[in-house]
Amino acid sequence: MLGSLAMACASSSTPSGEVDRGGAGGTSLLGDGGTAPDGTGGTAAAGAAGTGSAGGSSAGGSSSGGSGELTEPPINYEPVGLGDPWFFGAEAEVSAFTLDYENATGAKSWNAVGELRAIVDFPAAGSKAFIHFSAPWDSVANAAIPMNLEGRVLKASVRVASSTASGGAQTYSQSTTGWIWVSGDWNDFSSLGTWHDIELELDASADPRAVLRFGIQLYANGPGSTEFVIDDIRLEPNTAPPVELDGGVPPGDADTGGGSPADPDAGPLLDAGGGGLGYAPVGIGDPWSFDTESEFSAFNATPGYMSNTTLGTVSWSDGQIHIPMTFPAAGDTLEVQFETPYDGNTNVADLSQRVMRARVRFASGATATGGIQGFSQSGGWSWNSDGWVDLASLGSFADVSYDFSARATNAASVQRFGLQVYANSAGDAELIIDEIRLEPVP
């Protein structure tokens, strides 16, 4: 989730020839976040808070979920004015939220105990559903009116009533004219059998003063059906003290919204001060140091087009992503990729002054030969690659680098980038990723 395969390598072990790339597709450890489609904004009224029963959620925590009480929980904060908090005590409150899909089907409903329920059928891994609130629509300007949610935390009290699909849920926001995607921590469906608060610090949005949409993404790692229940959604004040890194960069990985610290093993990622980044991130979630499992939600791990590679169970451990793979034959590939934000027409990001650096190694015991390299697709999904490193030389961590300005067909409009593992023979391998950065061109 294409043009020709170009290898920049003098080694005889590198692949040769051209491969018809086709689409991305495939499975992922977590949801991929930033490919959600653009929208036209919400025209539905937000509904009146406090018009009926909620069935139990307090403004700050867990919910009893459908107790039948006909009184709404008290609010201990000043609402933003968009209709929040939504306790779904009346059916009109459900109309404020839209249920959209990518390769999925379903429906939302309301019940009298104060719950929004979404039943979604996921036909395959990578299928998604979005329960979201869109910014008010200016019919004269024919544009959404951005929402200023600076200093707020999006919180939702949710549970999974039943699920035959594997996957998970995460909060998200989209902001600025680029509809840039930022997501909160990942929550497996299997962990949501009882009421939990899932949240996103909206200050981690690309621009918290220009939010165009926020909500919850449901992402399937396998086919099946899921009944997802929301007791309430709140926009609470952020009580955490503000933290700034060097140059006023928002804390942590903007893609997770969690403010995770920089990886202490990151080497050049840290500046001499030992705490801030040595550069300003692009604003699409980088750098990804994988201090939390949810940070991998921005990436897809998938066999390459027309490849018969078998992807094993992707896992996270101690700040590293482990991706096992089996290559049936030479020429098979596996890609770890990031899709840039969707602007309503295509995916696009200006990386003309950036170098992707990925700190990787292969686990011992690999039986396949081959290597790994950086790649990008841009300018009509034209494929480019560079930075080949033999698999056999990566028994310990080293950087794989890809200079967008030197290699991308159009580095100002990159649609997808990442790492490709290419097999020169059949066998097994396990790629371990410690971090991925988008550093300025030296």
DSSP H stretches of helix in 31-182: 91-94
Residue 432 placed within a domain? yes
Q: Which amino acid is at 257?
A: G
**Domain shared by 220 and 326, yes or no:** no
**Domain shared by 233 and 302, yes or no:** no
**Domain shared by 225 and 348, yes or no:** no
Residue 309 placed within a domain? yes
Give the pLDDT score at 81: 85
Q: Is the dihedral of CA 18, 24, 25, 26 positive or negative?
A: positive
Give the pLDDT score at 432: 96
In the chain, the number of structural domains is 2
**Which strands form 105-111's sheet, in the order they lie side by side?**
105-111, 115-122, 224-237, 152-163, 196-201
**Domain shared by 207 and 304, yes or no:** no
- Dist CA 45 CA 137 (whole Å): 11
Q: How much is the pTM?
A: 0.45
CA 310 to each of CA 21, 38, 220, 303, 323: distance values in angstroms, whole numbers, following the listed order: 17, 32, 18, 7, 11
**Domain shared by 310 and 412, yes or no:** yes
CATH of the domain at 207: 2.60.120.260
- Dist CA 73 CA 79 (whole Å): 14
Report the DSSP beta bridge partners of residue 115.
111
Q: Which amino acid is at 429?
A: A
**Domain shared by 322 and 435, yes or no:** yes
Q: Which amino acid is at 201?
A: E
Per residue in 120-165, pLDDT tens?
A: 999 999 999 999 999 988 888 788 889 999 999 999 999 999 999 9
What is the Cα 204 distance to its own chain's centre? 13
Residue 21 placed within a domain? no
Residue 78 placed within a domain? yes
**Domain shared by 196 and 312, yes or no:** no
**Domain shared by 229 and 148, yes or no:** yes
b/e sequence 129-141, b meaning 16+ C-beta within 10 Å: bbbbbbbebeeee
The DSSP result for 2-14, as a single string, is: ----------TTS
Q: Quick one: CA torsion of 179, 78, 231, 165, rounded to 10 degrees?
A: 20
Residue 70 placed within a domain? yes
Report the DSSP beta bridge partners of residue 100.
130
**Domain shared by 208 and 331, yes or no:** no
Give the pLDDT score at 141: 79
**Domain shared by 67 and 168, yes or no:** yes
- Dist CA 43 CA 80 (whole Å): 18
Q: Which amino acid is at 44?
A: A
- Dist CA 321 CA 373 (whole Å): 17
Of 225, 240, 255, which marks where a domain is finished? 240
Residue listed under structure tokens 């841009």: 378
Give the pLDDT score at 265: 31
Nearest CA to 236 out of 113, 80, 122, 374 is that of: 80
Neighbours of 71 (CB within 10 A): 12
User: Are 364 and 439 contacting, i.e. CB atoms less than 8 angstroms apart?
Assistant: no
Of 217, 240, 263, which marks where a domain is finished? 240
**Domain shared by 200 and 299, yes or no:** no
Q: Which domain holds residue 125?
A: 31-240
**Domain shared by 223 and 364, yes or no:** no
- Dist CA 377 CA 2 (whole Å): 8
Q: Per-residue confidence of the chain (442 residues) as pLDDT tens digits?
A: 332 223 233 333 333 333 332 333 333 333 333 333 333 333 333 333 333 333 333 333 333 334 444 467 888 899 998 889 999 998 989 999 999 999 999 999 999 899 999 999 999 999 999 999 999 888 887 888 899 999 999 999 999 999 999 999 999 999 887 788 888 888 999 999 999 999 999 988 888 889 999 999 999 999 999 999 999 999 999 875 443 322 222 333 333 222 222 232 322 322 222 335 677 888 788 888 888 887 888 888 888 877 899 999 999 888 899 999 999 999 999 999 998 887 777 788 889 899 999 999 999 999 999 999 999 998 777 888 899 999 999 999 999 999 998 888 888 889 889 999 999 999 999 999 999 999 998 8
Of 240, 274, 307, which marks where a domain is finished? 240
- Dist CA 404 CA 401 (whole Å): 10
User: Are 118 and 131 contacting, i.e. CB atoms less than 8 angstroms apart?
Assistant: yes
Which two tokens mark 325? 């793979």
- Dist CA 2 CA 24 (whole Å): 10
Neighbours of 143 (CB within 10 A): 14
Residue 426 placed within a domain? yes
- Dist CA 401 CA 408 (whole Å): 13
Residue 124 placed within a domain? yes
- Dist CA 49 CA 62 (whole Å): 18
Residue 282 placed within a domain? no
For 345, counting Cβ atoms within 10 Å of its Cβ (0-12 exposed, 13-18 middle, 19+ buried), the class is exposed
